[in-house]
Chain A
Amino acid sequence: MSGELETIRRITAWHAGSALQRGEVINVHVADNDEILILSFVRMGGESLPWGVALGLMGEEAEFFSVADPRNRDLVATSLIEVAKRVLIHFGHPDFTENTDETAMMYRHRQIWVPGRSHLDLLHTIAFAYARTTWDRPEIEVLRAFGQLCNCLFVESQRPGQQTVIVASDALKIAHIFPGSSVRQGHLGYLLSWLGRQRTRQTRLLAAHAAEKLSVAAMLDPELERGQLGPLVEKWNEPAWDERVSKGKKTALAISLVLQTELERRHQLVESTIEILRQDARAYNSGLTDLVRIGTDKFSKLWFDNALRESSGNIDERPFWPGLWGDVSARAASFAYHQRVAADRERVHFLVHGDRELQNEELMKGHGLRGKVKSVAGNGSTWTFVYDYPELPSLKIGGTLSIAGIPKCSLTIVSIDPETREVILVPGWKSRKTGVGPAAEAPSDRSWLRQTLILLEDFPANLVAKLSYKVAKQSETDFDLLDYFSFEADDVPVAGGDDE
Chain B
Amino acid sequence: MEKSKKSVAGSRRDTRRRFEQWVQNPACGANLVSAVHNVKMGAVARRENPLAPKEGQSVFALARGNNFEASLVRDGAKVLLASMHKVGLLTKTEKSFLDFRTSANGGPLADLDEAIKKSEKLLVSLADTSTFRGVVSSLTLRIPKGVMLPEATLIIDVVCIKDNPEEGTGAIISVGEVKTYPDRGGYTSKSDLAKARAQMGLYVHALELVLEKLGVSTSLALSSEGFLILTYPGSNQPRIRMGEDLRFQAERAKRGFELMGESAERMPDIIGAGEDEEDLDMINEVLKAPVAFSDACLSFCERSEACFNRAMADGSGAVLGDEVERFLGGLSLSRVDELLDGAKAKNSAERDFLSQMKSSIAGFS
Binding site for B on A (CB under 8 A): 3-12, 14-15, 44-49, 71, 73, 121, 124-126, 128-129, 154, 179-184, 213, 219-220, 222-223, 225-226, 230, 233, 324-328, 333, 360, 363-364, 389, 488, 491, 494, 496, 498-499
Which B residues are in CB contact (< 8 Å) with A184? 298
How many Å from the CB of A459 to the closest CB on chain B?
A: 20
How many Å from the CB of B178 to the closest CB on chain A?
A: 13
Pair A10/B60 contact, Cβ less than 8 Å: no
Further 14 A-B residue pairs, CB within 8 A, beyond A494-B234, A494-B235: A3-B323, A4-B356, A5-B362, A7-B327, A8-B327, A125-B233, A181-B298, A183-B295, A219-B58, A226-B58, A325-B184, A325-B185, A326-B185, A328-B185
Pair B60/A46 contact, Cβ less than 8 Å: yes
Pair A183/B333 contact, Cβ less than 8 Å: no
Partner of B242, one of A46, A226, A488: A488
Task: Kindly state whether residue B209 has any CB partner on chain A within 8 Å.
Answer: no
Known: A5-B361, A181-B319. A46 touches B186 (CB 8 A): no
Partner of A45, one of B61, B299, B357: B61
Which B residues are in CB contact (< 8 Å) with A3? 323
In the bound complex, CA of A6 to CA of B363 (Å):
12
Which B residues are in CB contact (< 8 Å) with A488? 87, 241-242
Task: Kindly state whether residue B122 has any CB partner on chain A within 8 Å.
Answer: no
Residue picked from A230, A233, A491, most chain B C-beta under 10 Å: A491
Pair B60/A230 contact, Cβ less than 8 Å: yes
Pair A494/B295 contact, Cβ less than 8 Å: no
Residue of B nearest to A205 (CB): B312
Task: Kindly state whether residue B232 has any CB partner on chain A within 8 Å.
Answer: yes
Known: A46-B60, A488-B87, A498-B237. A360 touches B363 (CB 8 A): yes
9 contacts between A and B (CB under 8 A): A5-B361, A12-B362, A45-B59, A45-B64, A184-B298, A222-B58, A226-B58, A488-B242, A494-B232
Residue of B nearest to A44 (CB): B60
Leading 8 A-B pairs by shortest Cβ distance: A45-B58, A326-B186, A325-B185, A46-B64, A45-B61, A181-B321, A46-B61, A128-B233
Pair A125/B321 contact, Cβ less than 8 Å: no
Residue of B nearest to A323 (CB): B185
In the bound complex, CA of A47 to CA of B185 (Å):
17
The proximity string for B residues 297-326 relative to A, scoring 1 for CB distances below 8 Å and 0 otherwise, is: 011000000000000000000011111100
Pair B322/A181 contact, Cβ less than 8 Å: yes
How many Å from the CB of A303 to the closest CB on chain B?
A: 18
Residue of B nearest to A328 (CB): B185
Pair B236/A499 contact, Cβ less than 8 Å: yes
Pair A128/B295 contact, Cβ less than 8 Å: no
How many Å from the CB of A350 to the closest CB on chain B?
A: 22
Residue picked from B57, B62, B362, most chain A C-beta under 10 Å: B362
Residue of A nearest to B87 (CB): A488
Task: Kindly state whether residue B56 has any CB partner on chain A within 8 Å.
Answer: yes
Pair A213/B53 contact, Cβ less than 8 Å: yes
Pair B361/A10 contact, Cβ less than 8 Å: no
Pair B232/A128 contact, Cβ less than 8 Å: yes
In the bound complex, CA of A125 to CA of B185 (Å):
11
In the bound complex, CA of A488 to CA of B59 (Å):
33
How many Å from the CB of A368 to the closest CB on chain B?
A: 11
Partner of A183, one of B57, B298, B327: B298
Pair A48/B182 contact, Cβ less than 8 Å: yes
In the bound complex, CA of A49 to CA of B63 (Å):
16
Task: Kindly state whether residue B360 has any CB partner on chain A within 8 Å.
Answer: yes
Which A residues are in CB contact (< 8 Å) with B361? 5, 360, 363-364, 389
Which B residues are in CB contact (< 8 Å) with A71? 64
The proximity string for B residues 260-294 relative to A, scoring 1 for CB distances below 8 Å and 0 otherwise, is: 00000000000000000000000000000000000
Task: Kindly state whether residue B166 has any CB partner on chain A within 8 Å.
Answer: no
Which A residues are in CB contact (< 8 Å) with B356? 4, 8
Task: Kindly state whether residue B256 has any CB partner on chain A within 8 Å.
Answer: no
How many Å from the CB of B153 to the closest CB on chain A?
A: 26
Pair B58/A46 contact, Cβ less than 8 Å: yes
Task: Kindly state whether residue B2 has any CB partner on chain A within 8 Å.
Answer: no
In the bound complex, CA of A479 to CA of B242 (Å):
27
Which B residues are in CB contact (< 8 Å) with A219? 58
How many Å from the CB of B88 to the closest CB on chain A?
A: 10
Pair B185/A230 contact, Cβ less than 8 Å: no
How many Å from the CB of A476 to the closest CB on chain B?
A: 28
Residue of A nearest to B68 (CB): A46
Known: A182-B295, A220-B58. A46 touches B63 (CB 8 A): yes
Pair A46/B65 contact, Cβ less than 8 Å: yes
Pair B323/A8 contact, Cβ less than 8 Å: no
Pair B56/A125 contact, Cβ less than 8 Å: no
How many Å from the CB of B242 to the closest CB on chain A?
A: 7
Task: Kindly state whether residue B216 has any CB partner on chain A within 8 Å.
Answer: no
